[in-house]
A and B are shown apart, each in its own frame.
Chain A
Amino acid sequence: MAESVLAVSGLRKTYGAAPAVDDVSFTLARGGSLGIVGESGSGKTTTARIIVGLERADAGTVTVGGHERSGRPVGRAARLRWAREVQMVFQDPFLSLDPRISVGDALAETLRLHFPGTDHGARTGELLDQVGLGGRAVTALPHELSGGQRQRVTIARALAVRPAVLVLDEAVAALDVSVQAQILNLLGDLRAELGVGYVFITHDLGVVRTVADDVVVMRQGRIVEAGPTDRVLAAPEHPYTRLLLESVPRPGRDPRRIAGARRALG
């Protein structure tokens, strides 16, 4: 097995009576790409938030690059180190960018925080270049950019700290198909170039097919199936994975049968 950059073991998180995440374990190879698929309530987003450190698990461990991240980071240095290990890109770039701060300033702020006393101008240019934005974007405010360009900015900001792992939570779900394809291709290029690993949270099996080497299928907080993407999509073993695959719209699909299969799963 390749060296893993991220290992999640026995994660559990309960809100009220029902477990949102229940005994979730998986690993991500260095520079690998893992898709987590599931519907609302499957626990995929909670898992992502625990990995990043936005939520604390009730039980289980998250290990990034050999460091176990237990509890809460204590002190400024530990917080910054956590942030440098794992970065997150959210669905809506409108909500994750400050409308009053220009693209260049947003990147510079992150760089100042993590790498004080280095030349941020050159690095900002390099980051914008990597995500396919021209130098002109430096002075742009978020509202002057298209949805796809804004998502490029949030990716550049996440990459600014040279993270080992990028957690992408439905990062292309809000984009139009033609723009989505540009961003998916960009993410593929960046992974090859930088060796950053991806945890790709999505409900879209087509996206998983395109970006993920391995896939984890979650339902009601638990992993119901996991394996190489090619195998899982070509020969799904769990009925829920089969249901998800059959639900993908295509001419000639039979929605009534899908509705029946869904009820049968309970």
Chain B
Amino acid sequence: MNTLEIEDLRLTLPGTARPVLDGVTLAVGAGETVALVGESGSGKTLTSRAALGFLPRGAEVEGAVRVAGQDLLAMGARELRGVRALTVSMVFQDPRTALNPLRRIGDFLTESLRTNLRWSARRAGDRARELLDAVGLDERVLRQYPHELSGGMLQRVTIAAALMSDPALLLADEPTTALDVSTQAEIVALLADLRARFGTALLFVTHDLHLAAAISDRVCVMYAGRIVEAGPAGALFGTPRHPYTAALLASTPQVDQPRRRLDAISGQPPDLRTALAGCPFADRCRHATDLCRAEAPVSTAVDGGTVACHHHTRLTLEGITHHG
């Protein structure tokens, strides 16, 4: 059984012409890392929120979101609170906004277990020390305030807090975007260690394809509320099957590629006020045909993954080979 299973999730917001999530299907197994990649408005954050049972107010919902076999969409408020406190945890982009500046780190770490599981202060404190050690921080931090720590240290604290209840699933939404690149590497190494040690399933949301490929077992690429391509990280880079994946790779400035003009993707993603007849990427795709504009491609299983493109069998798209 997968830790997280999202099945054909369709979300429609009031006053919009097309679903903001349009048939999203993805699974994360125990101890597995799956990256969800997309640009703003692609629906990646909404998808990860759905794994916590958070849905936008007034949204029409179809499909299923199961965590450890339980369907979150069928749960009442009390059950959902239990899931959020114990089974699924989240690490956010900016640790400074996740912590109360007036409370000590120790309070922040132990609060949830003390209120939700009625743990004693001593027991929760012991668990907090254990996790601070796991994330490479000294227990002195327990008595410190957020402003006394650097951004990288604070992100370690929020990761420790997320793991306090030994959750089955960890959601990380751009957890390294607000950090410096070399600190980013430390946090990524830490997340990899922790998932190996605790067997936690990790859904890593990011806009950065390269980061996604560097840390995950599988990558799902989202565009306009759909997963357009999913597969093992290496394959997705070497031989992308969806033109959007290939276009994203070509438009990313690369350090280790020869200097060149970037292949920018013209235009913008479709907005929610217009209904989509065909493939959401058709207007920006250099391979698009009349079929693409008329009919939405269905997600098809290919070697080790899925792709939603009418022409995936006849296209040979350029990927990226990394040196060294």
Residues of A with Cβ closer than 8 Å to B?
A: 39-40, 146-148, 176-182, 184-185, 188, 203-207, 209-210, 229-230, 233, 243-253, 255-256, 258-259, 262
Q: With the chains together, A179 CA to B237 CA distance in Å?
A: 20
Q: Which residues of A contact B184 (CB under 8 A)?
A: 247, 249
Q: Is there contact, CB below 8 Å, between A207 and B261?
A: no
State the Cβ distance, A166 to closest chain B Cβ, in Å: 18
Q: Is there contact, CB below 8 Å, between A178 and B39?
A: yes
Residue B16 at the A interface, CB < 8 A? no
Contact of A248 among B180, B181, B215, B262 (CB under 8 A): B181
The answer to whether A244 and B182 touch (CB under 8 A), given A177-B207, A178-B39, A250-B214, is yes
Can you pick out 15 interface pairs between chain A and chain B where the beta carbons lie within 8 Å of each other? A176-B39, A177-B252, A181-B264, A182-B266, A185-B261, A185-B262, A206-B254, A249-B210, A249-B215, A250-B214, A250-B322, A253-B214, A255-B185, A256-B189, A258-B189
Q: Is there contact, CB below 8 Å, between A181 and B265?
A: yes
Top 3 nearest A-B pairs (CB, nearest first) are A206-B253, A255-B189, A181-B264
Contact of B185 among A146, A178, A204, A259 (CB under 8 A): A259
Q: With the chains together, A210 CA to B183 CA distance in Å?
A: 24
The answer to whether A262 and B211 touch (CB under 8 A), given A188-B261, A207-B253, is no
Q: Is there contact, CB below 8 Å, between B181 and A244?
A: yes
Contact of A210 among B186, B247, B253, B265 (CB under 8 A): B253
Q: Which residues of A contact B314 (CB under 8 A)?
A: none
Q: Is there contact, CB below 8 Å, between B262 and A205?
A: no
Q: With the chains together, A177 CA to B253 CA distance in Å?
A: 9
Residue B130 at the A interface, CB < 8 A? no
Closest to A213 in B: B259
Q: With the chains together, A148 CA to B266 CA distance in Å?
A: 12
Closest to A251 in B: B213
Contact of B210 among A185, A188, A248 (CB under 8 A): A248
